[in-house]
Chains A and B, each alone.
Chain A
């Protein structure tokens, strides 16, 4: 029988919904995957967003922004993640060291988000910013009322890339035993020559990535302020969705 179908059958087998002595249940693996991703993302945001906005607004430390953009553009290749995971293998395989694993995810998550925040601000028309300053906006007002709204599409695009980056890396990290994630099914399936389980793991990861990316794509459309979406000039009364449809940015990340 087709392996893919077997994978789906494996997923829908009620026996795989609970964690037993012999195997992890899908909900537990999913929860762990989400917690790892979520916690890593939170820390990533706290570090990358202020830094990216600072660089984008002041133009200071632009080199960091440029390096981040280039690094994140290199990310889609699985090879880079693989090398990274190998480097961090000692950390991933330490059963107790949850925090260290998260550090690794954060390091991979920061560049795309930092690059997004930086390039989002960098892309705002200099004359618009100059005018905002000339009419008496404070630097903070310029940032929050002009630069962030106008750069929002790229900022969220960076967040999208970071999210996928981390989801993918969490999966691969399980190759080394820990931490628990949907990737665990792939690892276990491989180890036990249980191919339906392995395929099931792959399907679950892909589904998770697609769903989250889809949700973020919707968010990305809605953060684009009216008046700036491409081709608004004569489409004043077009329905919001229709106008924005042509305007969704694709994230740099295409892996997983």
Chain B
């Protein structure tokens, strides 16, 4: 469990990046910070591994104030994945993943064995192990970044817009992969994005932030969608534009029992099955969510 207690960050140039922020981030769940550019998401995230120290307030991990933990030691126990992968360009893929282990003096053979396993975990072919980051695609680099983040087997994984720079198809793949990892490895993931769809997709808990990391709303995606706390939230999640309010298209007839749904703008938004003219119902259960484009994974859990 990570707890922010009245945390503020005032940068030297006078920017109030974070203003009196308090929240509890539960263990083994994914918490997403979402908000527009400059609202303080990265600052919040980097305070967890002491890349940034708060001006006031305290951050506790499992009840221990991290201000009392030596930053280097703390960082070695927390995975960190950033937007542009941040890989060391002069080290091979396998060395990049193993670097974290070398830092903690894990013997070479063991470190490489673990690094190879991690390539499997993040869905990278082992034949890429000897390549340099510059010889990988953006999506592959991000996978290596995730593998490196997982190398030390940390309980906490911080991800700062990790899929912001990859194309939509690869992003969907990586998002699905992240959800699978979370399910399989049971990590506490703190994820930063400015994409509300990504936030709703990945988050068990979502925090919508305004400037100064002011919490506009906190809750599960369902809670937020059902009950936007303010006009700001409604606008941020697209509810005000009717993007989230779907109706059945009366004109188009889809095949079988499916009917087409349209949003308030009149754009096609999806399909729903309606056997015998009765719309299908289900119950929200975030853990079972999967959007992989691989059919074998669709609807699992």
- List CB contacts (< 8 Å) of B149-168 with chain A: none
B185 at the interface (CB under 8 A from A): no
Cβ contact within 8 Å between A128 and B72: no
For chain A residues 85-132, which have a beta carbon within 8 Å of chain B? 125, 127-128, 130-132
Q: Flag if A149 contacts B148 (CB, 8 Å).
A: no
Name A's B-contacting residues (CB within 8 A). Answer: 125, 127-128, 130-138, 141, 146, 149-150, 225-228, 232-234, 236
C-alpha spacing A130/B148, complex, angstroms:
15
Please tell me if B91 contacts chain A, counting CB pairs below 8 Å.
yes
Partner of B100 from the list A135, A150, A233 (CB cut-off 8 Å) is A135
Q: Is the CB of A134 within 8 A of B80?
A: yes
A150 to B90, CA, bound (A): 7
B103 near A137 with CB under 8 A, answer yes
Min CB distance, A166 to chain B, in Å?
30
- Known contacts A127-B84, A135-B103: does B90 contact A232 (CB below 8 Å)? no
B123 at the interface (CB under 8 A from A): no
- Find the residue from B73, B87, B134 having the highest chain A CB count within 10 A: B134
Whole-angstrom distance from the CB of A101 to the nearest CB of chain B?
40
| 3 closest residue pairs by CB, A with B | A131-B86, A227-B132, A136-B76
Query: With A146-B88, A149-B90, A228-B89 in contact, is A135–B148 under 8 Å at CB?
Result: yes
Q: Is the CB of A138 within 8 A of B90?
A: no
Task: Say whether B90 contacts A228, CB under 8 Å.
Answer: yes
The 0/1 profile, CB within 8 Å of A marked 1, for residues 29-47 of chain B is: 0000000000000000010
Question: In the complex, A245→B87 CA distance in Å?
Answer: 25
Q: Mark B119-137, 1 if CB is under 8 A from A, else 0.
A: 0000000000001111100
Q: Is the CB of A135 within 8 A of B80?
A: yes
Tell me how many residues of B have a C-beta within 8 Å of chain A: 29
Asked whether A227 lies within 8 Å of B134 as measured between CB atoms, the reply is yes
**A137, closest chain B residue (CB):** B103
- Count of A-B contacts judged by CB separation below 8 Å: 75
Min CB–CB distance B81 → chain A (angstroms)? 9
Q: Is the CB of B103 within 8 A of A227?
A: no
Q: Which residue of A lies closest to B151 (CB)?
A: A135
Which residues of chain B are near A128, meaning CB under 8 Å?
86-89
B91 to chain A, nearest CB (A): 7
Partner of A232, one of B51, B84, B135: B135
Question: Which residues of chain A are within 8 angstroms of B206 by Cβ–Cβ distance?
Answer: none
- What residues of chain B lie closer than 8 Å to A135, measured between beta carbons? 75-76, 80, 99-100, 103, 148
Q: Do A127 and B82 touch across chains, with their CB atoms under 8 A apart?
A: yes
Q: For B131, list chain A residues within 8 Å (CB).
A: 236
Q: How far is the CB of A245 from chain B (nearest CB, A)?
A: 18
Which chain B residue has the least Cβ–Cβ distance from A230?
A: B134
A141→B90 CA distance, assembly (Å): 14
Which residue of B49, B86, B104, B132 is within 8 Å of A226 (Cβ)? Answer: B132
Chain A nearest CB from B114 CB (Å) reads 15
A127 to B134, CA, bound (A): 15
* B75 partner, pick from A125, A136, A233, beta carbons under 8 A: A136
Q: Which A residues are in CB contact (< 8 Å) with B100? A: 135-136
Most buried by A among B46, B90, B99: B90
Q: Is B6 interfacial (CB-CB < 8 Å)? A: no
From residue B108, how far is it (CB to closest CB) to chain A in Å? 15
Residue among A128, A132, A225, A227 with the highest chain B CB neighbour number at 10 A: A227
Give A3 Cβ to nearest chain B Cβ, in Å: 50
Complex interface bits, B78-108 against A, C-beta within 8 A gives 1, otherwise 0: 0010101111111110000001100110000
Q: Could you say which residues of chain B place their CB within 8 Å of the CB of A132?
A: 86, 88
Partner of B86 from A127, A136, A228, A234 at Cβ < 8 Å: A127
